[in-house]
Amino acid sequence: MRFDILTLFPEMFASPMGSSILKRGQETGAFEIALSNIRDFTDNPHRKVDDKPYGGGPGMVMMCEPVFRCFEHVAEQGPKPGRVLLMTPQGRQYDQKMAEELSREERVVIIAGRYEGFDERIRDGLGAEQVSIGDYVLTGGELPAMVVVDSVARLLEGVLGDEDSAKDESFSNGLLEYPHYTRPENYRGMTVPEVLLSGHHKNIEEWRREKSLERTKAVRPDLFEKYKDNSKYQENNRE
Ligand code: 6GU
């Protein structure tokens, strides 16, 4: 899989995308990241990429020209991008379902902006989907772009060490994960729940499911309500 990232700050990606699991994933060829600097595609002598908003108001707006030209340059290389994402707090909220969809694409283009926002014609002209990573405001779309790459890359074959570790986790089944423990059994008087030391796999599985439900209900009632509508839960909890 190939990610193309259009940004004014390609250097921001070096360490987060070049470390640990994502580093190895690129070395083994599971995916590649191609960074393009939007500023390389300006047509004015000052390499200006933003301008004042029509109608007035605070902040600056990302101009069409460098973003269109950068996108066209990128799109010319290789297969047609399956999805084009424009990272903005005005977008639809990113979630695990979208990560799973993206992981089935051969090529995804992610546009990260700075400033107050993008000229609206960028979204229209490039057929881009506006995507947000949550209800808070960041200084730019670079961290959100990295969030997308990380969450998609770890779903690709050969990226995570243990093939099973992407299956049993929070959100993949609609619930938050159960609590984990490792050695020692007693740490400063805090002990590991007995059932986990029992070796009784069915009881352990049951305990984890209970904890998972309990935790989701307490911390994420929204997820819990969604899960309750799910047939599996209803089957297992019929009177
Ligand atoms: Cl995609 N961009 C910015 N600047 N802030 C955000 C965001 C994106 N998602 C949440 N906050």
What pairs with residue 107 in β-bridges? 2
User: How many Å lie between the centroid of ligand 1 and the Cα of residue 46?
Assistant: 27
Query: Which of 87, 95, 118, 136 to mutate for ligand 1's pocket (most ligand atoms within 8 Å of CB)?
Result: 87
The interface predicted TM-score of the complex, written ipTM, equals 0.97
Evaluate: CB of 87 within 6 angstroms of ligand 1.
Answer: yes
- Three-state DSSP state, 170: coil
Q: Each residue of 106-152: pLDDT tens digit?
A: 999 999 998 889 999 999 999 999 999 999 999 999 999 999 999 99
36 lines ligand 1 (CB under 6 A): no
Give the C-alpha distances (Å, rounded to integers) separating 166 from 27, 31, 174, 215.
20, 17, 13, 20
How far, in Å, from the CA of 85 to the mean position of ligand 1?
Answer: 12
Cα–Cα dist 7/193, whole Å: 48
* Per-residue pLDDT tens over the stretch 60-114: 999 999 999 999 999 999 899 999 999 999 999 999 999 999 999 999 999 999 8
All structural domains of the chain with their residue ranges:
2-153, 186-236
* 2-153 CATH, one of 3.40.190.10, 3.40.50.150, 3.40.1280.10, 3.90.1150.10: 3.40.1280.10
Give CA–CA dist 167/170, Å, rounded: 9
